[in-house]
Every structure is written in structure tokens, then in C-alpha cells.
Amino acid sequence: MSRYLLIATALCIFLHNAVAQEWEVYTTYSYSDDFGFCYRECLNELDNGNFAVSSSISYKSGAGDFYAAHPAVAIVSSEGYELARNDFFRPGYCTTSNYPYLFEKDEELYMLTTYSPDHDSTYFNYFGDCDNPPTEAILGLYKLDANLNIIESYEHTYPIDIYEQRDKIEWQLFPNEYSGNIFLFSAFEDEGNITGAYFKNVSVADQPRGHDTLFFFKMDFEGNFLLRKGYEMNTTGGPSQLSYKRQQIVKNNEGYLLYARHLGESMDDPYNGDIKYYDNNFNHIATRYMIQPEQGIIPADLDCISVIRSNQNTTYLSTMMRRNPDDKDDIRLYEIDDDMNNSEELLPICRYITRYTHDFDDACLVGIDKTSDCNIYFAYTLNTGFGDGEDSWIMIEKLNSDFDTISTFFLDEINTFSKATSIKTTKDGGLVLVYESYKLNDPNVRLTRIAKFPASAFLNIEEAHAHNLKLAVAYPNPGGDVMNIRTGLRNAILSVYDMQGRKIHEQEITDDITSIDASIWKSGTYIWKLGTGNGNENEVEGKVLETGKWVK
């Protein structure tokens, strides 16, 4: 435990930046460190105006990478300063649920999380090295004080399959995901209590060791199960974490709906997702299906679903889809009519939008949240050369309830790879974004960040620029013979200048993506301007809306 205490003490360092956004808090860690701390998801403001942030800490395994996550929590003030942080390490255990769910009840903060035996044999916390190796998994609710110390603990334990088959490549790569574990994937406050769902998985082996079980539960804030119901699945072990994101249950007047990736019998199965209906006691009522409204999508690859209930008694579903045959990811946002009284086998899709271009080889879903005036924030990350140290940026769209675009902005930091993990609307109509980033010229140093944007940042260009948001981006940057401009602007004029101020290119922008032939341009740095008129600020009818540098 001395190693743990030393690490926990070292985690007190954080930085604050109030220039780029309304405020931003970030911490750093390096791949040369023994541990890495990450912000993961922000809870809406606490009653005192501060923010509770669901987090995680991972330690270096013998394989040379960070692995075996443990739950952690941070508190950030309404002014943008980290007030407290704590991680909840447990010898012999890790959390396969990634990071905890946080609740506020009567001005008290609660953490709901799981622990499963840690099967990484290259790691100092391997459960087989403990004096009393754990044979049970834990689902725990913990009340935290202002310093994030546990003051009350309510735990439920379950015998777990601790079998290991280390000659399988899956076990060598992901021993905790392929071992017996508890995976909590949904939890929300529900009429003064907590409703949630988790899988109790068996270990993966050549000879199946039984079936996984899906559990639904209702729990009060003293950790008592008010109701719990289980369903045996047809799966026999495996990482549920690959298909389940963070929140996949919604509630309506009749009961609960579980949205999940549909695992068909074959690739010819026409369905993408299935929705299981349960009454208020979690009795299964019906299963219905969702089909992709266009061709060219691999049906089995509707993945990483996240859902929230709309104000129209429908469900907003955001997800990633895999395009076939070019093996690129799309981002999709659906509104689905999932009325329980509708007897149709296929769920009617009210509307949907797609976000992709062929220039991106990976798109990372962040999620959606709605505002008090029925608008929607929709955020996602686009990557070129994912994992290869090339361009990426976070896109934040504000939509109305018909999915019409109110505004589209880019969080684009020069020479930086960024990936968003969570968004939450704030009580004042703004947005909290949680994301990770690293400089392309120093990829070993990682930043984990939480930033707050005011509502005004999404209303006009001047306010957007004041909060580090842009209307357009040029990529790849540095580039070669083609410069691409991505923007939501229409009928604007793009002008490109060399470093001597000479205009070398001009054209109208009419599409989301405009590709410019730069093959005859000399190597060097160029200034691009996007605006009305001819993009020249000195013209009476011209106004520059966005500008940037591009390097060939």
C-alpha cells in the first residue's frame, strides 16, 4: 500500500486557464509516469454551483501501457478551480465499468461504481498476488464528504468467475474485459431513488463457462435494493464495454426502454439495433428493432449507443456506424418514435442526421444533451489518421428539436490532437466539455481537460472567437497538394494569401468540404480567410468571418 499512498499524494497538481473558454481546468500526465489521471464526465452543477466530475485513474502495467482503471472523482468550482480530488484504489481489484456514476441527494454527493478482480498478471495489483485473492465482485454506493472521502459505504458482493485462460490472445491483450466481471453501464436518478443496469459476465474460454446475466435494479440512497431482476443472456463472456457506452436506458410513463446494438444471427440480419421494453417492475414486455434508413452500412456495427429522452416523448439516440466497404465511421443522431403502444415491429425514425466525410478514417462519438429551451447540443470528434498523430478536432453543434442547425463550431487547437469524452448543458444554458489532448510534437504528454462555455459562445461569431471556437478549419495541416476547408458557412468566399500578402487563390464555398488544389504552391505557410465579399476586411461590403494558417 505504500506505493499507492505515494501515488495518491502526487495527484494534487492541477492547472487553471481562464483565457480560452469561460474557464478551463486541466491536468497532465506522461507515458513515462506510473499512473495517469483523467477527467471523464461532468455531472450538472451541484446545488452550491460547483461541478462534480466523474474520473478515473490508471496505473502502468508490465506491458508498458496504462491499464486497470480505478474510480476517481473531482470537484471543480463554479469559477473553474479544482477544489478536491480523490481516487478509490482497492488492492486486488479494478473497475471494469471505467468510471463512476455521481448523484446529488439532499446536498450530499454519492458515487456508484463497481469492482472486479484484477486479472492483469503483469501489474502490481494482480489479484493473484494478494494475500487473500478476491473471488467476488462488488457493486457499491458511497457517500462522499466535501473532500471526497468516503463517509458511508453500501456494498453488494457477488461470487464471480475467476477462471483464466492465458494462452488466448484476448486474455493477453485485455485480461480484465475477458475475465468474469461486473459491468455497470446505466444509472440515473429516478423519483428519488437510483435506477440502473449491469452485466455479470463469465470468463471467456475455449469451453464456455456459462452465460452472462443482465440485471436491472432500483436502489435507494442507503444502498438498499428496492427491486432487482435478472435475465440470462445468450452470450458466454466477452467485453460488453465494446458495445455499451454510458447511458442506454430511458424511462417513459409505462416503464423502461433498453437500447442496444442488435446481435443478429448473421450478417444478412437487416436490423441495426433492438429496443427492449420493460414495465415498471422490469418485466419484459416486447422487443422491437431499428433498421438503417439507407444502404451501405454494416448492420452489426451500430455501436457505442447513447440515449436521452426528448421533450416530445421520443428518444434521441447518438451512435457510430461503420461504412461499408471503406471501413470508415459515421456519426449519427436519430429521433425515434418508441411509443410502447405502437405495435409496429420496426421503430419509426422521425428524423436523423449524419456527420462524416471520406477524409476521416475515424469519428469518435461524444454525445448529446438538451437545453431547457428544447434545443440540443451535439458533439463529436473527427480524426484523420487516427492514432498516427494527424489532424483532429472537436465539433460542437447546436440544433433545434427538428435537427436544424443553429450553429456549428470547431474547437481546433493548432498542432494538437484532441478527443472529447463528455458534454453537459449547464443551468445557465451553456455547455461543459470534457476532453483529452496532446501536442503532435510531444505525444507522450497528455492533457485531461474540462472547459465551460457560456451560452453566448454559440450565438454569434464574435462570442465564439472569444471562447476559442471557430467557424471553419483547414486540414490536413501540415498538408501536401490538397488543402481542405470544412465549414457550415454557405456562399462565403475563401481567399488564400502567401506570407508576402499576395492573394494566390479565391473561390466560393458552397459545400461542407471544399478541396483546393495546392499542387503548384511552394512549400511554406499560407493565410486563408473566409468571409463575405472577397474576404478583404478593407472592402466596404467584405467582412472576414474566419481566418487561419495552413502549412504545405
Domains by residue range for the chain, with CATH: 474-552 (2.60.40.10)
On whether the CB atoms of residues 254 and 312 are closer than 8 A, the answer is: no
On whether the CB atoms of residues 180 and 161 are closer than 8 A, the answer is: yes
Q: Fill in the DSSP letter of residue 179.
A: S
What's the alpha-carbon Rg for the chain, to the nearest Å?
Answer: 24
Q: What is the DSSP string of 469-507?
A: -BSEEEESSS-SSEEEEEES--SEEEEEE-TTS-EEEEE
Task: Give the C-alpha separation, 495 to 497, whole Å.
Answer: 7
pLDDT of residue 213: 95
pLDDT of residue 490: 79
Q: Fill in the DSSP letter of residue 465.
A: H
3-state secondary structure of 172: helix
E strands present in 202-261:
213-219, 225-232, 249-251, 255-261
CA distances to 112, 202, 327 from 213, rounded to whole Å, are 20, 9, 32
Task: Give the C-alpha separation, 3 to 5, whole Å.
Answer: 6
Assigned C-alpha cell, 56: 478515473
> What totals of helices (H) and strands (E) does the chain contain, helices first?
3, 37
pLDDT of residue 324: 57
Task: Report residue 119: phi and psi, to 5°.
Answer: -100, 10
Question: What averages of pLDDT result for each successive group of 10 residues across the chain (552 residues)?
Answer: 29 44 88 89 89 93 83 95 96 93 96 96 89 92 97 97 91 91 95 96 92 96 98 86 81 90 62 86 91 50 76 87 64 87 82 76 74 87 66 86 90 80 89 88 88 89 88 85 87 91 91 90 94 52 81 90
For the whole model, what pTM was predicted? 0.88
Percent of the chain as helix, strand, coil, to the nearest 5: 5, 50, 45
Assigned C-alpha cell, 231: 435475465
Residue 139, judged by CB atoms within 10 A of its CB (0-12, 13-18, 19+), counts as: buried
Task: Give the C-alpha separation, 220 to 143, whole Å.
Answer: 12
Task: Give the C-alpha separation, 154 to 222, whole Å.
Answer: 7
Q: Taking Cα atoms as reference points, which of 215, 350, 343, 216 lies closest to residue 288?
A: 343
Residue 184: CB atoms within 10 Å:
22
**CA 165 and chain centroid, separation:** 31
Beta pairing partners, 419: 436
Residue 431, judged by CB atoms within 10 A of its CB (0-12, 13-18, 19+), counts as: buried
E strands present in 311-391:
315-322, 329-336, 349-355, 362-370, 376-383
Residue 266, judged by CB atoms within 10 A of its CB (0-12, 13-18, 19+), counts as: exposed
Please name the residue that has the C-alpha cell 444502498: 223
Task: Give the C-alpha separation, 460 to 516, whole Å.
Answer: 27
Task: Report residue 287: phi and psi, to 5°.
Answer: -130, 130
Task: Report residue 231: phi and psi, to 5°.
Answer: -135, 125
Assigned C-alpha cell, 511: 459545400
Q: Taking Cα atoms as reference points, which of 201, 213, 198, 185 lies closest to residue 239?
A: 201
pLDDT of residue 326: 59
On whether the CB atoms of residues 161 and 210 are closer than 8 A, the answer is: yes
pLDDT of residue 1: 28
Task: Give the C-alpha separation, 302 to 322, whole Å.
Answer: 7
